[in-house]
Chain A
Amino acid sequence: MPNDSLKDSLAEKRWLTALANGDPNALGALYEMYGERIFRYAFRMLGNRTDAEDATAETFLRVLRRSAELRADGAFRTWLFRITRNLCIDKLRQHKLMELPPDAQYSGSDERATLRITVQQALADLPTEYREPLVLCDLEDMAAREAAEVLNISVPALKSRLYRGRRALRDKLSGTLERNP
């Protein structure tokens, strides 16, 4: 295991134990460790900043609420993503927030920004069962085993959805891919 991962794992264990013991620094430390990744994931699922911030805050509130049950055995990060995923799915059901985010800001040249908007729109148009593996594996760079655990499916099922999702995305982007080989 690389040194950084080992350090993160030890720090996670320490802070989870501290959280269970009521240490007020613990939740802040866990937010420092995972807040950005959870926010990014929520943003990619929901498509807008405000809802992603709400989902991130609610995720960490649930960490606090369940502090006595949390196990520092390496499964915490997966559990965190699973909680965020459930919150995002609830929000999507409530608000049908599948349109292009109104507050999305894209930097770079016009051509690059257009390309990003096209990719975002194509992703948002995919059925959730295809979009989720793409977000976790291709955008968040999560290993297949962990992504499968977050989605509560087997690794072969995850890969099947991932490959189908990529083909579906490719079909939606066909014109774009011809212009940007």
Chain B
Amino acid sequence: MNENDLYSKLVDLYAEHALPADMENRMEAAAANSPELAEEMMTLRGAVDLLHAEEAPEFTEESYQRILLKMYARGVELQTKRPDPIHLQYQLPIQG
């Protein structure tokens, strides 16, 4: 592994907050003398932090029920602990 590869690896670990504190301090000290390294460290960590801050897609009750319905529609008999939604519990009276 040459020096560039080593720095690149360290920046990757810095970005994911995976370096021990003393190594992280040494990286930051090195970055103070190298704007290029500082930019690399800051932007990569910023990208990783943005990803980690992403909210998960919401698994709504409607999605939960629609997935169940898709399975029922394929002939699967399955039971869950959650009660069926109101509109599936009672049959509507046939009119006319």
Contacts and interface: CB of A to CB of B under 8 A. Distances in A.
Interface string B61-78: 001101110110010111
Contact of B70 (A54, A115, A119): A54
Contacts of A53: 63, 66-67, 70
Most buried by B among A29, A43, A57, A180: A57
Given A27-B78, A134-B51, A170-B47, 6 more contacts: A31-B67, A52-B63, A56-B67, A138-B51, A139-B56, A167-B44
Contacts of A57: 67, 70-71, 74
Given A32-B80, A35-B59, A52-B57, A166 B71 contact: no
Interface of A: 24-25, 27-29, 31-32, 35-36, 39-40, 43-44, 49, 52-54, 56-57, 60-61, 64, 115-116, 119, 134, 138-139, 163, 166-167, 169-170, 173-174, 176-177, 180-181
A-B residue pairs, 5 tightest by C-beta: A57-B70, A170-B47, A28-B80, A43-B57, A138-B51
A62 to B, nearest CB: 11
